């Protein structure tokens, strides 16, 4: 008789993908998945055998763990020092050369890099209520039917449909304001890198949208922007003040959450990951991750 004491380990990739989109944190996503597996193994063998689809069961548990985490996170965020940003992800192919031989695959390598993990997408998700976020991710991203979403969220299917619809409008607005191709973004990011490295003020002004915003996340551990900045002039001043020449960082073009970005390296380690929202060939949003806890999957500087 086939046993289900060890459920399809291949489900881990799907579970990590669901949890990361719900939480915006790779560490928290991995914890949620581990909790789901722990609950599975804690069940008696006969109860495991009775589960028709272990993968669906695990997804339900992961989603509920994430929902509870999101509800408590709103309280914990009040104690977070500075601004909170989602944890940035590297392209697995770009991390291969930097990975230490013999080390098992990092959970970050399991994330599918599509538009639903773009930094702009995740920032909008983070502004939603926990129920909105879970309903939207399950239905619109992973195509779960609303009756199934309802059982996970603890609402009626109609209520979950309304939650997802409200979330969808916010996502649509963000996508419309940044409807550029990856190739176009790469050109803008490359030009910004060149202007920043040479302290070319005029070029920086041209490359930034008049209403550009900049947000930094240092987690209270390292120095970064204390508050979000808006407008070209203050952001250009900040770029010049903390640019590569002043900080000693080396900037490298890298993929960040599936979109062109920059990585700041110093003494062989990644110390900053920059994500960008580009619109009409100009940078409209700049997100700088400097919190070491959220850079663990980037720890070693990639090859230039």
Whether 33 and 58 map to the same domain: the answer is yes
Closest CA to 220 of 80, 27, 26, 77: 80
What letter would DSSP give residue 91? Answer: -
Whether 281 maps to a domain, the answer reads yes
Whether 194 and 244 map to the same domain: the answer is yes
Whether 114 maps to a domain, the answer reads no
Whether 172 and 210 map to the same domain: the answer is no
Q: What is the number of alpha carbons within 13 Å of residue 203 lying toward its C-beta?
A: 14
Whether 154 and 258 map to the same domain: the answer is no
What's the pLDDT score for residue 79?
A: 75
Whether 189 maps to a domain, the answer reads yes
Whether 110 maps to a domain, the answer reads no
CATH number of the domain where residue 196 is located = 3.10.450.50
- Please identify, among 177, 192, 218, the residue that sits at the C-terminal boundary of a domain: 177
Q: How far apart are CA 195 and CA 148, in angstroms?
A: 50
Beta carbons of 140 and 168 less than 8 angstroms apart: yes
Beta carbons of 82 and 219 less than 8 angstroms apart: yes
What's the pLDDT score for residue 237?
A: 94
Whether 212 and 66 map to the same domain: the answer is no
Beta carbons of 36 and 12 less than 8 angstroms apart: no
**DSSP secondary structure string for all residues of 1-66:** ----SS--TTHHHHHHHHHHHHHS-HHHHHHHHHHHHHHHHHS-HHHHHH-S-HHHHHHHHHHHHH
What's the pLDDT score for residue 115?
A: 86
Whether 46 maps to a domain, the answer reads yes
Whether 170 maps to a domain, the answer reads yes
- Please identify, among 149, 177, 205, the residue that sits at the C-terminal boundary of a domain: 177
Q: How far apart are CA 245 and CA 277, in angstroms?
A: 24
CATH number of the domain where residue 25 is located = 1.20.140.160
Q: Is the pTM of this model over 0.75?
A: yes
Counted domains in the chain: 2
CB environment 92-122: b (16+ within 10 A), e (fewer): bebbeeebeeeeeebbbbbbebeebbbbbbb
Whether 37 and 163 map to the same domain: the answer is yes
Whether 51 and 171 map to the same domain: the answer is yes
Whether 70 and 165 map to the same domain: the answer is yes
> Which secondary-structure segment (H or E) carries 280?
none
Whether 290 and 163 map to the same domain: the answer is no
What's the pLDDT score for residue 163?
A: 95
| Residue 69 belongs to domain spanning | 10-83+125-177
Whether 149 and 273 map to the same domain: the answer is no
Whether 137 and 224 map to the same domain: the answer is no
Whether 159 and 260 map to the same domain: the answer is no
- Please identify, among 177, 198, 213, the residue that sits at the C-terminal boundary of a domain: 177
What's the pLDDT score for residue 2?
A: 41
For the chain, 304 residues long, the average pLDDT of each consecutive 10-residue run is 51 94 94 95 92 92 96 76 92 67 66 90 92 96 96 95 92 67 92 96 97 94 90 94 83 95 92 94 95 87 59
Whether 249 maps to a domain, the answer reads yes
């Amino acid at each position: 008789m086939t046993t289900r004491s060890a459920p399809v380990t291949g489900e881990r990739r799907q579970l990590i993908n669901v949890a990361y989109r719900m939480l915006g944190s790779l560490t928290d996503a991995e914890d949620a998945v581990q909790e789901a597996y722990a609950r599975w193994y804690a069940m008696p063998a006969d109860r495991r055998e009775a589960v028709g689809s272990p993968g669906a069961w695990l997804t339900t548990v992961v989603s509920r763990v994430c929902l509870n985490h999101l509800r408590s996170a709103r309280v914990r965020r009040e104690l977070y020092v500075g601004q909170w940003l989602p944890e940035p992800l590297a392209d697995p192919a770009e991390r291969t050369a930097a990975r230490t031989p013999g080390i098992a695959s990092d959970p970050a390598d399991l994330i599918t890099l599509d538009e639903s993990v773009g930094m702009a997408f995740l920032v909008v998700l983070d502004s939603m209520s926990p129920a909105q976020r879970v309903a939207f991710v399950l239905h619109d991203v992973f195509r779960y039917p609303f009756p199934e979403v309802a059982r996970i969220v603890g609402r009626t299917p109609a209520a979950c449909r309304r939650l997802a619809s409200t979330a969808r409008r916010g996502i649509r607005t963000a996508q419309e304001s940044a409807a550029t191709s990856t190739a176009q973004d790469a050109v803008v990011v490359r030009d910004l890198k060149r202007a920043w490295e040479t302290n070319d003020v005029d070029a920086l002004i041209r490359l930034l949208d008049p209403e550009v915003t900049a947000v930094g996340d240092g987690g209270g551990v390292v120095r970064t922007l204390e508050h979000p900045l808006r407008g070209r002039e203050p952001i250009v001043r900040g770029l010049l003040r903390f640019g590569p020449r002043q900080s000693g960082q080396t900037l490298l073009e890298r993929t960040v959450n599936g979109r062109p970005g920059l990585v700041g390296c110093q003494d062989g380690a990644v110390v900053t990951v920059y994500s960008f929202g580009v619109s009409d060939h100009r940078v409209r949003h700049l997100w700088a991750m400097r919190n070491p806890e959220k850079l663990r999957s980037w720890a070693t500087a990639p090859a230039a």
